[in-house]
Structure 1
């Protein structure tokens, strides 16, 4: 790989190694320099930050904006969403970000997350019951996928009759078919129409779910959830976008966290046996899997509001900046022997769920779901094993997420 960190060269490096073997590629980039020019997912150049200290500082740097209005003209071409889906926390800075996050964070208090533990376990057990009858399964489609999407269904109060369609649209957006780009556009239109109808239905007949609470905030009717007196309310687009964001943030990342963790344990039979015998140690294992092989290799793109330096490299206002959490979490300057899975290590400060004001809103929920999913799975199938040669497994080829296409298992 060509080192662009010292010169600030405009010639992007080849990202193929980051797709083929991301952790080896990240190690080479960290060694070569702290910041590198790459070609982003939108086909335009971006700066990739690789070292822990730089990534951590940048995640909390208010000069790095998530708002696309700060992108240089012609320098960023992200996927275009309609305004009713685009007005979400991943495209906002304070004060709008602060206002909306303050409203929705109440859905993820420790008490509310803990109240979801029993329903999550019930869903996990039901999925495992169905798998047990067959003796083998694709863990991604039969377990890691259905579990978190069911949690999202319940949080948003999506009626059972609509869930099959909703899952199809979600999959079309999260794992698009490059040969059929029209499917993604159709899914976006269908989902926007669905959310619009769901809002109308819940306005007429509120339910005991997060979405009904947010609608009440929007309509300035919530008691205790935000009364609107201090401007604490949502626009109609922000309301719809929040539901859309909860889908993506609560579904895709948790699916890949569960899948990556299971594969990590299948690769380490001694760790698998230890956790089967001592399930109380699962939270520490999930934390180490977040660091070791987390579901989000890079942050959402950021745009400097002014010219600045990261790692000694000057970056112009409006250029795209990607912060590599995958690389930072394997930086030996912060985590000794970083390529070894060690759940006894000091995991404070890992960046798998972000840092600063954009720290993952649903972090506690994702951790709980992963612990419950592993506990139920390992307890049910003590002889769990891969059902294909290890070399046959494939990860999705994208910088945005780190997850398996399939994970065939037997027991």
Structure 2
């Protein structure tokens, strides 16, 4: 049994060109050992778990706590005020289940399906705006700014009753918090987010509406089932997770399809393939590189590597999803892959409450773009795309494309390029 797996010969993640394509580095680490002692960009020591079986087991291991109070050394996550920190990502089972039951009413399958028309209408409005811009000669366009970012903000903003003018500033501050250009930006972004959410709760309390936030406030005020910090923290988590992940999955999903023209042609010809394509995208291109950090409450072992109490454990989802021990030819994007199980939306009590909504948003977003703009192409070489420099997420900063809008004409499937690479 060993305690450390540091090796100067192995790649050092989270540096240099790693951010544009992290998967080769993960592959070398995964092949070398199941667990590595590494440093994050700020120098914090963590244990990086790389293999699918260990990551899957770790997500539901009750000895791995998400409560920051269990942390001894290493990365703890963001330093947040109590009104943002008391959310489901930082709470262990008893309180977690209590809060989860309150929020889950907003994400039942029936409630999500009732939102389908609203999501489609929002996607159509954004596509109309794109088409109008094209008619005025705006080409290329950045799909991230023009479509992928606004769509989830409309959906989650409507669900929580967030004023339209406040949605984009909130999203931009979350992006800054997750991938700052310098450390001081984190403090500033967190402060803005905190004040905005406290003010939003106060406004909704004064003038309740038919939205999820008003329902949570009622649960807080009438039944005292939520503390005030828990209430604001839930609003923070729902807004952040409901916009951030879907935004990057839409842009990353579109890029993946554009890079695989044969499978793009299949999806264009048969939109019924989109649900399967989205599941493969969740495995292949999910932005979240890591599950939420965890802290052992007793010594734990992964592959014979002993991790002490209180150290920080990062379960690497991105590495697990490319593990050949679980997925044959894992670096190949394949919408017909037989094993569609993945960990992108969590597992156990930390399974994503908004998973049905996220799946629906991504399917509608991609179907709308492919139907309305049958000739989408990258406007720059793929190696010139700009990526977020963050160990937490692998996400595009922008996705410039050229598009041709022919919404009234039936589409013809593209002919795959001869000898198209599968990767």
Same fold, TM-score > 0.5, yes or no? yes
Distance 1:257 1:124 in 2: 15
- 225, 243, 250: which is aligned to 2:242? 250
Q: Which residue of 1 aligns with 2:19?
A: 19
The Cα offsets for residues 316-344 of structure 1, whole Å up to 9 and x where unpaired, read as: 00000001111111111111111111111
Q: Which residue of 2 aligns with 1:144?
A: 148
Q: Which residue of 2 aligns with 1:210?
A: 212
In the TM superposition, what are the counterparts of 1:6-405 in structure 2 within 5 Å? 8-9=4-5, 14-15=12-13, 16=15, 18-72=18-72, 74-135=73-134, 136=139, 137-178=141-182, 181-220=183-222, 233-405=225-397
Query: Contact between 1:42 and 1:78, CA under 8 Å: does it hold in 2?
Result: no
Give the paired residue count: 394
Distance 2:3 2:61 in 1: 23
C-alpha spacing 1:116/1:335, structure 2 compared with 1 (3 Å)? same
The Cα offsets for residues 35-66 of structure 1, whole Å up to 9 and x where unpaired, read as: 11111254211011111111110010000000
Distance 1:201 1:147 in 2: 24
> 1:204 deviation in Å?
2.4
Query: Contact between 1:396 and 1:405, CA under 8 Å: does it hold in 2?
Result: yes
Distance 2:32 2:184 in 1: 41
Query: Contact between 1:291 and 1:350, CA under 8 Å: does it hold in 2?
Result: yes
C-alpha spacing 1:18/1:70, structure 2 compared with 1 (3 Å)? farther
C-alpha spacing 1:383/1:76, structure 2 compared with 1 (3 Å)? closer
> 1:128 deviation in Å?
1.2
C-alpha spacing 1:348/1:167, structure 2 compared with 1 (3 Å)? closer
Distance 2:166 2:325 in 1: 49
> 1:246 deviation in Å?
1.0
Distance 1:156 1:89 in 2: 17
The Cα offsets for residues 269-314 of structure 1, whole Å up to 9 and x where unpaired, read as: 1211211111111010010011112111111110000111111100
Distance 1:70 1:7 in 2: 20
Query: Contact between 1:37 and 1:48, CA under 8 Å: does it hold in 2?
Result: yes
Larger deviation, residues 370-379 vs 184-193 = 184-193
Please report the TM-score for the alignment, with normalisation by the length of structure 2.
0.88
The Cα offsets for residues 349-368 of structure 1, whole Å up to 9 and x where unpaired, read as: 31111212111221111111
Give structure 1 regions of 4+ aligned residues with deviation exceeding 4 angstroms.
9-13
Distance 2:126 2:179 in 1: 22
Structure 1: tracts of 5 or more residues without a match: 221-226
Query: Contact between 1:174 and 1:248, CA under 8 Å: does it hold in 2?
Result: no
Distance 1:127 1:310 in 2: 47
Larger deviation, residues 382-391 vs 345-354 = 345-354
Distance 1:75 1:55 in 2: 19
Q: Which residue of 1 aligns with 2:419?
A: none
> 1:69 deviation in Å?
0.5
C-alpha spacing 1:297/1:183, structure 2 compared with 1 (3 Å)? closer
C-alpha spacing 1:35/1:124, structure 2 compared with 1 (3 Å)? same
Please report the TM-score for the alignment, with normalisation by the length of structure 1.
0.91
Query: Contact between 2:68 and 2:76, CA under 8 Å: does it hold in 1?
Result: no
C-alpha spacing 1:117/1:408, structure 2 compared with 1 (3 Å)? same
Helix, strand or coil for the counterpart of 1:314?
strand
C-alpha spacing 1:108/1:347, structure 2 compared with 1 (3 Å)? farther
RMSD: 1.9
C-alpha spacing 1:166/1:44, structure 2 compared with 1 (3 Å)? closer
Query: Contact between 1:18 and 1:399, CA under 8 Å: does it hold in 2?
Result: no
